[in-house]
Amino acid sequence: MTLPQSFKASAIMPTVAEIRKDFPILEQQVHGHPLAYLDSTASSQKPIQVIEAMNRYYRTTHANVHRGVHYLSEAATTAYENARLNIARFINAPSPKQIIYTRNTTESLNLVAYSWGRANLGPGDEVLITEMEHHSNIVPWQLICEITGATLRYVPITSRGELDMEALDSLLTEKIRVFAFTAMSNVLGTINPVEELVARAHAVGAIAVVDGAQSVPHLPTDVQAMDMDFLAFSSHKMLGPTGMGILYGKRELLEAMPPFMGGGDMIREVKMEGSRWNELPYKFEAGTPAIAEAVGLSAAVDYLRGIGMDWIADHERRITAYAWERLSEVEGLRILGPGPERRGGLISFVLGDVHPHDVAAILDMDGIAVRAGHHCAQPIHDHYCIPATTRASFYIYNTEEEVDRLVMALYKAKAMFDL
């Protein structure tokens, strides 16, 4: 395990100030103000350790993987496969063969929906998802239900922004073949009880597919303890590069599934009459993969591990509780979702009847980057009968001072709109 450079001296307890030194992008001014980056739920920033690992790879190691006998091809293959092993260890997967490289969470979820779904779903079967899903855990299931004739059902949410567990009881019948849900909502911040939901799915014979896009970057993850059948997540939300995602799956399920895409590397043999598939994980990795991105994600995993996922979860709990308290004091501001004790590091809100895009534009003038819109989760906005929200989100490099600046800028917005 490589500790991030700046923590070698202090080794155990990093400070946010030390962490920030590793993120060159945070040093800049935006519209004459220091950048306050409160948009990590959309995509996190990258530490120099990740940037340098990718730079070093391209300067010294790059060639195509798995195909050559020359020195560089072997070195690139080793870097690519070591990254897979490192990622497997990060989530406690039993084997790197169960780590499939994809482009992002979206592709990971599509892979399961199409590959597992085409082989296992038919008329009379049901797929269960929740009202708080990101579009990437809704649309693939809508599409596969259309193809297979299965029926899609949704677990509703309560007025507190949590899954309605009583409704879940009645929905989770033996017709359900797959229960796919987010570990953490990207709009409400709600942290779902993953182990309990997985156990309930298994009790009716369904498989459990977990969207970990918002949980893996922020909370400790142990796929064996949690027992999910599939877990999807994105590198770019956990300090790694874009263009890289992971699908973890249970081995027997992955073995039994047909390939998702066809092409080079995913085959054992191709004849004009037909083809045979490569072993795991390559069966699901057609074509030249994102090699430097795998190296970058591995460096990000080292960085997160160096800080400690428990430290990260604690830091985010503290800063979210502080932000919750300060934002709750702003008259006319409505926060969506549960209290700070049951949510991850993000807060979505509406400010009176000001359009969230206007709020975000005003904050931007003060150098504060937040996101506004439906956050690719329209059904949950429909639930609250609003088209959009403004969302502030927090990660390892955010400070309470940035929260204070957010609140001050919101008062400015209120004054501008006479609220």
Q: Shortest Cβ distance from residue 375 to ligand PLP (Å)? A: 7
With residues binned 3-state (H G I as helix, E B as strand, rest as coil), the percentages for the chain, rounded to 5, are: 45, 20, 40
Give CA separation, 252 vs 116, 175, 179, 229, 255, in Å: 12, 22, 18, 10, 5
- The continuous run of DSSP H or E covering 277 comes out as strand 274-277
- Name the active-site residue from 85, 167, 376, 386: 376
Per the CB < 8 A criterion, the answer to whether 6 and 19 are in contact is: yes
Minimum CB distance to ligand PLP, residue 344 (Å):
10
Task: Choose, by CB under 6 A, the member of 40, 136, 221, 393 that binds ligand PLP.
Answer: 136
40 interacts with ligand PLP by CB under 6 A:
no
CA dist 260 and 38 (Å) reads 36
From residue 228 to residue 247, the character string flagging contacts with ligand PLP as x (rule: CB under 6 A) and all else as - is ------x-------------
Q: How far is the CB of 279 from ligand PLP (least distance, A)?
A: 26
CA–CA separation, 134 vs 183, rounded Å? 11
CA 223 vs. chain centroid, Å, equals 15
CB contact set of 361 (below 8 Å; sequence gap of 6+): none
> Which stretch, 10-18, 84-92, 101-109, 380-388, contacts ligand PLP (CB under 6 A)?
101-109
Choice from 49, 148, 182, 393 touching ligand PLP (CB under 6 A):
182
> What angle, rounded to 10 degrees, do the helices at 291-307 and 309-328 form?
80
Q: Which of 76, 83, 150, 213 contacts ligand PLP by CB under 6 A? A: 213
| Binding status of residue 186 toward ligand PLP by CB under 6 A | yes
Site map 138..167 versus ligand PLP, x via CB under 6 A: ------------------------------
110 near ligand PLP (CB under 6 A): no
> Is 105 a binder of ligand PLP (CB under 6 A)?
yes
Number of residues this chain uses to bind ligand PLP (CB under 6 A): 12
- Choose the stretch contacting ligand PLP; rule: CB under 6 A; options: 52-60, 99-107, 197-205, 384-392: 99-107
The conformation of residue 282, written as its DSSP 8-state character, comes to: G
Note if 376 is an active site residue: yes
Q: Which of 20, 46, 134, 315 lies at the binding interface for ligand PLP (CB under 6 A)?
A: 134
Decide if 385 contacts 51 (C-beta within 8 A).
Answer: no
Question: Which one of 131-139, 250-258, 324-332, 398-406 is the stretch in contact with ligand PLP (CB under 6 A)?
Answer: 131-139
Rounded Cα gap, residues 20 and 396, in angstroms: 8
> Is residue 224 within 8 Å of residue 214, measured between CB atoms?
no
Least Cβ distance, residue 32 to ligand PLP (angstroms): 30
Report helix angle 356-365 to 400-416, nearest 10: 120
Does 214 bind ligand PLP (CB under 6 A)? Our answer is yes
Which CB sits closer to ligand PLP, 6 or 234? 234
Q: Does 115 bind ligand PLP (CB under 6 A)?
A: no
Residues 6+ apart with CB under 8 A from 244: 101, 102, 103, 104, 234, 235, 236, 290, 293, 294, 296, 297
Spell out, one character per residue from 345 to 384, where the chain touches ligand PLP: x when CB under 6 A holds, - when not.
----------------------------------------
**Amino acid at the residue 273:** E
By three-state DSSP, how is residue 130 classified?
Answer: strand
211 is a contact residue toward ligand PLP (CB under 6 A)? yes
Q: Annotated active-site positions, please?
A: 376
Give residues in contact with ligand PLP (CB under 6 A).
104-106, 134, 136-137, 182, 186, 211, 213-214, 234
